[in-house]
Amino acid sequence: MRGHEDRFTGTLSFAARWRLYFRERFPLHLHALVIAIFSWSSFTYSWAVQGRRGLPVALPLAVAFAVVLLFFLQLRILDEFKDFSEDLRFRPYRPVPRGIVTLRSLGWLGVIAAGIQATASALLGTHVLIALVVVWAYSGLMAVEFFAHTWLKAHALVYMASHMVIVPFIVAYVATCAGVRAMMAPLLWLAAMSYMSFCVFEIGRKIRSPADEQEGVETYSALWGRRRAVFGWLTAMAGAGAFAALAARHVDALALTVGLTASVLALATGVGAKFLADPKPGRGKMFLAMSGVWLIVIYLVLGIGAWLRIRN
C-alpha cells in the first residue's frame, strides 16, 4: 500500500497528505479516545478532591481536553524533528522521509496548535496560561534533549524517566483548569500514577519479538533483553497500580481500583509469560494493546470514583 501511495506522492492533495500523516503517526480516533478519558478523569478527580459538589463546568473541561490533545500532537511533532536523521537512515517508510509532509509544515502545525492552546487557556485566566507555559518550557527542554543528547541516548532508562516528567506537568495543567491553585496530596498521587502509567505505555510500545527488531530502532527488548523488558513493564504497571490505590482513597474508590487494576495486572502477567515462552513474530504487539487497556482502565476507574463522589 505504501509503495503504491509513494508513486503518487506528487499528486496527493494537501488534505490527503495530512490525512495520511495523521493515520500513520497520530491516529486521531485512538488518541482522542485515550486523551478524552485521561483529561476527563484528571479533571474530575481534581474537581472532587477540592471538595466541590455538582458536575464540572463544561468550558474548563473542554479546554483541558483540547489543549492536552494538542500537547500530545506537539510531542509527536518534536519527535519528528529529533528523529529525522535516524528516520532517513533507518526508517525511510515514515511519512516525513517519504515526503508526505515536511518538517517545515509540521513546525507550522505546532505553532498553530500553540496559538489555539494559548487562546483557549486565556479563557480560563492567567493561572492556566502559566501552567501552559510550564508544559511548553519542559517540552522545549525535551526538544533539545536537556542539552545532553549523547549521554541520554546511552542511558535508555534515564532518557525515558526524564521525558515522562512531562506527564505530571500535563496533569497539573488539567488540575489548574479544574480550579486547583495549590498542589494537594491527592494530586501528587494522581501525578505519580500518571507518570508510571505512561512509563507502562512507553515500555510496552517498544517490546518486540526477535524477528521484528529493526536496525537503528531502539527497543527495550533489544536494549535490556526480553526478560528484563517484560519485568520492567510489569514493575511500572504494579507501581502505577499502587499509586492509583493511594489516589483512589480520596474519592472512596479504593476497593474498585484495587480490584480492577489487579485484574489487569494479572492479565498483563499472562501476556508477558506467553511472550517469553514463545516470542513469535508479531507477538510484541500484545504489549502495546495491553498498555492501552491499562491506561483506559486506570483512568476510568479513578474518574468514575471521582464522578460518583461529586454527584452525591
| pLDDT surpasses 90 at 159 | yes
How would CATH label the architecture of 26-311?
Answer: Orthogonal Bundle (1.10)
pLDDT class for 217, splitting at 50, 70, 90? Answer: confident
Instruction: Using the predicted structure, report yes or no on whether residue 284 has a pLDDT greater than 90.
Output: yes
Give the start-to-end residue ranges of the domains of the chain. 26-311
10: pLDDT confidence band, cut at 50, 70 and 90? low
Residue 171 near residue 44 (C-beta atoms within 8 A): no
pLDDT on residue 7:
47
pLDDT at res. 1: 42
Would the pTM count as exceeding 0.75?
A: yes
The tens digit of pLDDT for each residue in 24-70 reads 999 999 999 999 999 999 999 999 999 888 878 899 999 999 999 99
> What pLDDT is recorded for position 57?
86
Evaluate if residue 5 carries a pLDDT over 50.
no
pLDDT at 4: 43
* pLDDT above 80 for 3: no
Report CA torsion sign: 145, 193, 224, 285. negative
Q: d(Cα 83, Cα 68) in Å, to the nearest integer?
A: 23
| 87-91, 92-96, 266-270, 279-283: range with highest mean pLDDT | 266-270
pLDDT at residue number 312: 62
The residue with cell 499509586 is: 243
- Label residue 211 by pLDDT band (50, 70, 90): very high
